Structure 1
């Protein structure tokens, strides 16, 4: 179901709670909402649709990937960039990393580890910040 985008900064600044298997359906809401905003958005965190759970979705270019309880394991290659967010007006400078390694659970609740690079890594890092209440 397409959900409204949360724009309340105080809500977005709160840390998200661990997701459980019962939260898998939130991934579909993120899919639907990201698709509805595909012209202006390449990733989302569940708090952007008003749910404080550790779930993100990332446009991988060829498909969308939903990550439940993602954890950043390593990062390398820092660079300066500027980002915008569907929940906020304008853009802001930030530091991101060219390559990151993340562990997470997939929709079947299997644990996975993936390496992300380039723009996809940047998207993942932005969404991971959302889970920690960091608003860019």
Structure 2
């Protein structure tokens, strides 16, 4: 189901709670909402659709597919660089520091624990969405 985009900075600043199997419908809604906004958005966190759970979806530039992650956690990063980012939930563009490569642990759609390394723009998107989970606005 396509959900309305949350635009309240006060809500978006609240750190999200861990997600579990009962939150798989939220993951599906995030994927639907990302697909509906594909022309203007490459990643989303659950709080962007009003659900304060640690779930993100990102468009993986390397595979061309959308990737869903529950309880993502960056365990390694390398190659810091300065960039600017916008956000579907907020107006404008702001400067930030990101890593060129990140290694992330997460649960996939089948609730299997995975660890994967991402590079380039996909790594940047993941970092932005994990910031959302932590209540950090860029």
Same fold (TM > 0.5)? yes
Instruction: State the Cα distance separating 1:121 from its structure 2 match.
Output: 0.1
The CA RMSD measured in Å over matched residues stands at 0.5
Q: TM-score, normalised by structure 1?
A: 0.99
What corresponds to 1:105 in structure 2?
Answer: 107
What corresponds to 1:135 in structure 2?
Answer: 137
Q: What do the CA deviations read for 1:43-76 (whole angstroms, capped 9, x no partner)?
A: 0000000000000000013110000000110100
Report the count of equivalent residues. Answer: 136
Q: TM-score, normalised by structure 2?
A: 0.97
Distance 1:60 1:22 in 2: 25
The structure 2 residue matched to 1:122, chosen from 117, 121, 124, is 124
Q: What do the CA deviations read for 1:3-46 (whole angstroms, capped 9, x no partner)?
A: 00000000000000000111111111001100111010000000
Q: How does 1:37-76 map to 2 (within 5 A)?
A: 37-61=37-61, 62-76=64-78
